[in-house]
Amino acid sequence: MILHSEAASCSADELAGLRARGILRPPSKADRIPRPKRFGPGPDVDVHDGPAGQVGVVEDDDYHYEPIFLTDEDTWEYPISLPHLVDAIRRDNGIDGAHFRNDNGLISVGQRSVAGVGLVGVYLSLPNGSEDSVMARCRRLIPIVGERWIALLTPRILDLSREDLGILTTSRIVTISLMAAAGKGHFAVNWDEAFGHAARDAGAFASAGTAKGVEPDLERLIEGKQSVGIATAARYLERSSGQVERLVRDGVLKRVGQGRPTQVSTASLRTRKGTQEEPDS
């Protein structure tokens, strides 16, 4: 599902393209939505029809949340056709495959050759609301693919703990957000950026026998570049992609341009790297 507020960030041409490819279906009204940002932080809300219009209600025995008034834009959501989405990912990335099977949130997209890495198994994971469910899917993949690398595609950037990120690195699993990595109107992933330093970093982790305490050659990730994507910025700062996105939204890191995917200034990354003595809250 894509909420109307998320679809609003796409251009009319992008939305039309998704509809034309059969990926985006006609909108419907959601029964439960994330709390709109204009109301501040808080839990998801249930949507009800009240005398004065739609309201969002939270049922919590431990804390009282006042009902909030919602607009149609808050509650409309667009269903996604997963088979059509997988077909589009295959076509846009040159991946062979014809079958579709949703194995409890894990969908095999196919295989793709990546320079310097070899043959990569590509999978789509969703929904990803729970970090435990994502890691459980990754554990299922490890015995299937053996020594090969895995690209785990997700609709949005995953916000994983540093410990789980270390587990994925040593397991040769690279997470790639389609929303962050894909260009306008297509789902073509920048495979070179996604896997640029993954193999070397995994070798460093393995030789140390631990997922902690290893300092990769981080400066080489951004040298000679004015800006990099969210995934590279996250590796450079040794933070999750979700944390980097929050730093961009808060203005701590400088965003370059307003296009998609998001590009982060390397100068601001170096400044942040030199001052992040304390972990982000």
Residue 25 belongs to domain spanning: 2-78
Supply the pLDDT for residue 181: 59
- How distant is the alpha carbon of residue 37 from its chain centre? 19
Number of structural domains (the chain) is: 3
pLDDT tens digits, 181-211: 555 567 888 888 888 755 545 544 444 443 3
User: Is there a single domain that holds both residue 6 and residue 99?
Assistant: no
The share of the chain scoring above pLDDT 90, in percent, equals 14
57 shares its domain with 158: no
Burial of residue 104 (number of CB atoms within 10 Å: 0-12, 13-18, 19+): exposed
pLDDT of 7 above 70? no
Considering only CA atoms, which of 65, 61, 27, 28 is closest in space to residue 46? 65
- Which of 178, 2, 169, 13 lies closest to 93 in space, CA to CA? 178
Contact 263, 255 (CB under 8 A): yes
Domain end point (choices 48, 78, 108): 78
Residue 280: inside a domain: no
Question: Residue 121 — pLDDT band, cuts 50, 70, 90?
Answer: very high
Same domain membership, residue 202 and residue 93: yes
Phi, psi at residue 257, to the nearest 5°? 75, 180
3 state SS for 4-33: HHHHCCCCHHHHHHHHHCCCECCCEECCEE
The residue that leads in pLDDT, 61 or 251, is 251
Q: Are residues 89 and 168 in the same domain?
A: yes
132 and 182 inside one domain: yes
Within 8 A by CB and 6+ apart from 70, the residues are: 33, 36, 45, 47, 53, 54, 55, 56
Unique residue bearing structure tokens 């896997």: 195
Q: What is the mean pLDDT of residues 117-128?
A: 89
Check whether 50 has a pLDDT greater than 90. Answer: no
Quick check: 212 pLDDT over 60? Answer: no
Q: Which stretch of 34-48, 55-69, 204-218 has the lowest confidence by average pLDDT?
A: 204-218
Q: Are 54 and 147 within one domain? A: no
- Cβ neighbours of residue 27 closer than 8 Å, sequence gap 6 or more: 4, 76, 77, 78
CB atoms within 10 A of CB 120: 22
Is 92 in the same domain as 56?
no
Residues 100 and 68 grouped into a single domain: no
Asked whether residue 197 falls in the same domain as residue 164, the answer is yes
Among candidate residues 162, 179, 208, the one where a domain is terminated: 208
What is the reported pTM? 0.61
| Phi, psi (degrees; rounded to nearest 5) at 56 | -105, 130
Q: Write out pLDDT tens, residues 218-258.
A: 676 787 788 888 878 887 887 777 788 888 888 889 998 87
Q: Is the same domain home to 94 and 192? A: yes
For residues 189 and 237, state if they share a domain: no
Give the residue from 52, 78, 104 where a domain finishes. Answer: 78
pLDDT-derived band at 125 (thresholds 50, 70, 90) equals: very high
Domain assignment of residue 225, yes or no: yes
Domain contains 42? yes
- pLDDT of res. 38: 85
Same domain, 195 and 106: yes
